[in-house]
Copies of this chain bind each other. A is one copy, B any other.
Amino acid sequence: MGSSFGKTIKLTIFGESHGPAIGAVLEGLPPGLKVDTDYMAAELDKRRAYGSISTARREADIPEILSGVKNRLTEGTPLALIIRNTDVRSQDYQNSTVPRPSHADFTAQAKYLGFQDASGGGHFSGRLTAPIVAACAIIKQALEEKGILIGTHIARMATAEDRPFADDPAENIKTLAGLQFPVLDSSAAAEMQQIIERCAAESDSVGGVLETAVCGLDAGIGEPIFDTIEGEIAKAMFAVPAIKGVEFGAGFALGQSRGSQANDSFAVEGSKIVTTSNNSGGVNGGITNGMPVVFRTVVKPTPSIGKTQQSVDIQTLQPAELSIKGRHDPAIIHRARPVLDALTALVIADFYAQRYGYMWLRNDR
């Protein structure tokens, strides 16, 4: 039952990689919101694999909207969209009995008892993030029109590091919107791309760290004790199977610092109270403080690699070597970027909707 996210604005995701279609239902949008399929396509395009038209399977396909939209505006009823899977499996496909290390093959087997369709990753395929991006693009764009901007860059990949977000990341976010490979520093970008190419050549893969910023938020948003800004964002991020950690502001470095260093002093800027540093990542007590919300997520190396790996045949319980054939993404971190933006938009809009109602999101207010 864990396929929905959000309280007042709620997203439900369904589909298997090789089933007839994947899709999303988005409830709780107000009527009259713009549905801009160009914007949606641009967000989806950020999920493209590195190296031009590189995946075996093209996903540029724009989703078909089945309900909730009339004359390119939301109706206020549930919005459903689907993306067809074009190279559909035969119905009596057999799952492999040798699970890929660190993939969901084994755990899906344990949970779904063999009834799951594991082909192409099944319900755990990265492809499932496409309807997330498509549906949340509507929200992300509506937030932009209210001055709330969301953006993500690759902060680190192996040894290569991008420069961090500026204190006010609004300009950075606008820059990133135009970049297919989301790195602020072009020499860092080049270095990362070399790393990816090296991994590809070696039939290996690489992980990295993404940094996301949200600016334009009011202070006072968040619903502690349990529905904190950090908690909801973190929960949403872990919907991406490759993500294994989330930290806000100075994050894990705070484990080695003193209060006198870590505390963010208050100051006045115009008529607004600000902090002179942002070690808190824009959140205190689970509530926004009006500074940019900044968090980092770690993306593990893609588990599907060409190199030979040790596994086990789950039927015979015998050791089995596994070398995955075909082309595989040596890195998916840049492809995760629009997904993080999408999920962050959903979380933020849902918090506002709880406080001010779903009608708040309308463009004309």
Chain B: CB-nearest residue to A300: B254
If A251-B244, A314-B273 touch, does A20 touch B66 (CB 8 Å cutoff)? yes
A338 in the interface, Cβ–Cβ < 8 Å? no
**Contacts A16-B67, A234-B231: A252 and B247 contacting too (C-beta < 8 A)?**
yes
Cα–Cα distance between A73 and B117 once the two chains are bound (Å): 11
Does B67 lie within 8 Å of A317, measured CB to CB?
A: no
10 intermolecular pairs with C-beta atoms under 8 Å apart: A12-B25, A19-B66, A75-B116, A76-B111, A101-B263, A207-B255, A226-B236, A266-B311, A276-B310, A355-B357
Q: Is A288 a contact of B107 with CB atoms below 8 Å?
A: yes
Q: A237-268 vs B: 1/0 string, CB under 8 Å?
A: 11101011111111110111111111111111
A42 interface residue per 8 A CB criterion:
no
A230 contacts partner chain B, Cβ-Cβ < 8 Å: yes
Which of A53-61, A78-86, A171-179 sits within the interface? A78-86
B116 touches A77 (CB 8 A): yes
Whether the pair A286, B317 counts as a contact (CB closer than 8 A) is no
Q: Is the CB of B115 within 8 A of A266?
A: no
Given A116-B76, A228-B238: A206 in contact with B258 (beta carbons within 8 A): yes
Q: A75 contacts which of B115, B208, B257 (Cβ < 8 Å)?
A: B115
Complex CA distance for A318 and B267, rounded to whole angstroms? 8
A244 and B238 form a contact (CB under 8 A)? no
Q: Is the CB of B70 within 8 A of A273?
A: no
Q: Are A67 and B20 in contact (CB under 8 A)?
A: yes
Give Cα A275 to B91, complex, Å. Answer: 32
Interface residues on A, range: 35 or more
Mask for A65-104, Cβ within 8 A of B = 1, else 0? 1111011011111111010000000011100000101111
Q: Is A10 an interface residue (CB 8 A)?
A: yes
Bound together, the chains give a CA A159 to CA B77 distance in angstroms of: 38
State the 7 A-B residue pairs at the shortest beta-carbon distance, nearest first. Answer: A2-B227, A104-B285, A2-B223, A245-B247, A110-B220, A205-B259, A231-B238
Tell me which residues across on chain B come within 8 A of A267, comparing CB atoms.
Answer: 310, 312, 319
Q: Could you tell me if A107 and B285 are in contact, using CB atoms closer than 8 angstroms?
A: yes
Chain B residues with Cβ below 8 Å from A271 are: 317
